[in-house]
Amino acid sequence: MHSPIRTAALAAIALLLAAHAASAAGSASPDDTARILAGMQPSAESPLALLTREGGWQSHAKSFDSAWKRLDERQLSRIRAWSGKEHADPRSVVFYMFSGPDYLYADAFFPKASTYVLSGLEPVGQVPDLTALPRGSIGRELREIEASLSSVLSYSFFITEKMKRQLGSGRVTGTLPILYVFLARSGKTISEVSLVSLDPDGAVQPAGTTVSKSASRGVKIIFSGPEGGTQTLYYFSTDLSDSGVKSSGFLKFCEGLGSGDSLLKSASYLLHSDNFSKVRDFLLHHSAAIVQDDSGIPARYFAPKEWELHPFGNYLGPISIFPGRYQPKLREVFRNGRTVRLDFGIGYRWRPYESNLLLAVKSGAKSAQDQ
């Protein structure tokens, strides 16, 4: 039999080992978490490496490898080539309103930005902790992520209601896991993640700080690309209607970043409505260039003396679920301008050679076509 002293010593050692194991389990880095969710190998010393032995993860990795290869060949590589040729003087800040968690296309169109600001109604969720998942459950969580990404991988846009249902189920919820996947699959290394909120003056506050009910809540992610250099991504869950942005602090936060480039894609034609005039006016006043499909700012709002409009692709008008959004002015821009063909699909008209893009460049800011 063990002596009481030895028994106590063994118990103490066991407690220390358990504490060490718990500490190690909780030390999974955000980058390793992102890589697991994206179907990519984490660092060898990561406590998450064991998950790669599960059949659910291996199936997920194989599926995503194939899906991302097709997506890059079909769209992302072509968008990067388009952007490098047609928008040769990008700004360091990118505003992507009505984006949801779509960092993927923000990076494809504006890969050199130092700060990205994304926004939508979808909630951020909590920082995912995969070490807390029950054993053998990772496969089910990954299938939810695959389902939430199915439309953006196939058509270039999220189906909002479908994504909302899927991002709220399971134990890995919200937009943050999707942002993780997009960052990892875009070749980024995540170094820091923090939940934040905005006060009425647009100042960033740590999550948990007392703010008004209308305040924007979000996440700040610091990361780097293969070439090095620190980049920052903000995503805010916020109401972008005129009544919603009035006291949320969101537009004041954006104003503090100065002039930037803007992306508008599959934006439900909300900026055609007077109920979204504040965001529309902000983008027109604070953008050096705007890349958008026809669901963005109507062409009639671009004053000829202030903006140069460069059409790309083919304007066929809105799809049937958005009646009444045809733009005679935009048809005129495409008919009279030097329209350049697009070899990738984008927006609601996602089939190649049916899509349209408008590169609007503020006078004084040069596009590649002007140089």
Give pLDDT, residue 162.
54
For residue 118, CA distances in Å to 63, 103, 105, 285, 296 come to: 27, 8, 11, 18, 15
Q: What is d(CA 334, CA 38) in angstroms, rounded to the nearest whole number? A: 39
Reply yes or no on whether the pLDDT at 180 is more than 70: yes
Give pLDDT, residue 269.
97
Higher pLDDT, 157 or 339: 339
**pLDDT tens digits, 325-350:** 999 999 999 999 888 899 999 999 88
pTM across the whole model? 0.88
**pLDDT tens digits, 221-276:** 999 998 888 999 999 999 999 999 998 999 999 999 999 999 999 999 999 999 99
- Helices 30-37/138-155 angle, 10° precision: 70
Contact (Cβ atoms closer than 8 angstroms) between residue 164 and residue 122: yes
pLDDT band for position 159 (cuts 50, 70, 90)? low
> What kind and span of H or E run contains 283?
helix 277-286
For the CA atoms of 230, 235, 236, 237, the dihedral, rounded to the nearest 10 degrees, stands at -160
Strand order, beta sheet including 260-264: 204-206, 189-198, 217-224, 230-237, 115-120, 93-96, 260-264, 287-292, 356-362, 307-313
pLDDT band for position 107 (cuts 50, 70, 90)? very high
Contact (Cβ atoms closer than 8 angstroms) between residue 334 and residue 294: no
Q: Where are any strands of DSSP class E within 115-274?
A: 115-120, 189-198, 204-206, 217-224, 230-237, 260-264
**pLDDT tens digits, 303-325:** 999 999 999 999 999 999 999 99
Residue carrying the six token digits 């039999």:
1
pLDDT band for position 23 (cuts 50, 70, 90)? very low
Reply yes or no on whether the pLDDT at 366 is more than 70: no
Higher pLDDT, 91 or 19: 91
